Amino acid sequence: MLLSQILHLHDIDSIVLERKSRSYVLGRIRAGVLEQGTVDMLHRAGVGDRLSREGMVHQGIGIAFDNVLHNIDVHGLTNGKVVTVYGQTEITHDLYAARDAAGGVIIDSADDVALHGVDSDAPYATYTREGKTHRIDCTFIAGCDGFHGVSRKSIPQRVLTEYHLSYPFGWLGVLSETPPVSDEVIYASHPRGFALCSMRHSMLSRYYIQVPSDDLVDNWSDEAFWAEFKHRLPQSLAAKLVTGPSIEKSIAPLRAFVADNLNYGRLFLAGDAGHIVPPTGAKGLNLAVSDIHYLSAALIEYYGSAGEDGLKQYSAKALDRIWKTVRFSLFCTRLLHDFPDHSAFEKRIQQADLNYMLCSQAAMASFAESYVGLPY
């Protein structure tokens, strides 16, 4: 939808195919920490008004370690850059409103989507809706349909290299209508496992704890979650924590994936269709927006009669930033989680890494640079 909105502002027509219903899309609870570049792009796309009013600007981030809470001054370390907490669901609301106001075409509940002729000059997509088959002829196809979508599967394996990494743990997340324990996001490293304090707004908190990858949500009552969560926080934070009934509870696996070619013919992959990062560092949504920056610029260039050079360079440009961002996400994951198979030596090195980062201005500056988002 962001790509469609940007193209509309440059008089380029597009159609969005969505497999689920609008109510389903708007009901999903997703990420909420936005890089500076993501915020800037949303404003340029004309969907930043509510973000400006309701987004929570964060100038720093907390790292809890050995029962002590440390602050990293992101704003000061990056010459004034910040991150903004504003839920992905809210961005989706804003994009739906903008596309509706502009008469944009969004076809929901589109089943059995298939792509045809993507390596030709006349690609097209087919789908079924309410029992009828439909066809869309187009010039280009943007595959923004996630890891399990049809787009990446439409690229021959001989031209696609896939890289995978899975972790032996996941994040158990709880959403509760309670005030956040802190005004800023806090990442906590603890011998029992990682914990994260985040929020969606002043009365909606999002908390996570590390759990084994084969754990089940049914194993965790609200009482058990809060008890374990408090155990992993510094005592000063745990004493301030306001608990309450969960309104959503889920376990997200931690894994990394990169498809090392995001382009085949007239098909271009973006977002989770081309890459997945662990949620540590809050990069998934932001990396998808980064893809759209490069792809929209290339399409605008093409329709402005500047040729296809931008489109031919899209994959390389996007992947350069993707791999750097994957590196940061993996660094954060290794730094903050408990790895059950680590030796005592490896655990001490992990502690040394944390101690070094929190006492080195250069290390904190490097962390802050990646956290607010690398330049496009």
Task: Give the pLDDT confidence of 104-152 residue by residue, as tens digits.
Answer: 999 999 999 999 999 999 999 999 999 999 999 999 999 999 999 999 9
- Tell me the backbone φ, ψ of residue 34, rounded to 5 degrees: -105, 130
The per-residue pLDDT for 370 is: 97
**What pLDDT, on the 0 to 100 scale, is given for residue 109?**
97
d(CA 20, CA 280): 27
How buried is 74 (Cβ within 10 angstroms: 0-12 exposed, 13-18 middle, 19+ buried)?
A: buried
Q: What domains lie within the chain, and their CATH numbers?
A: 2-58+82-164+255-336 (3.50.50.60), 167-253+340-372 (3.30.9.10)
- Low-confidence stretches of the chain (pLDDT < 70) are none
Catalytic residue set: 58, 187, 279, 283, 371
pLDDT at 200: 83
pLDDT score of 28: 82
pTM: 0.94
Residue 122: predicted pLDDT: 96
118 within 8 A of 267, measured Cβ to Cβ: yes
> What does the pLDDT read at residue 32?
85
Longest distance between any two alpha carbons in the chain, whole Å:
63
Tokens (6 digits) for 322: 């993707």
Q: Are the CB atoms for 54 and 70 separated by under 8 Å?
A: no
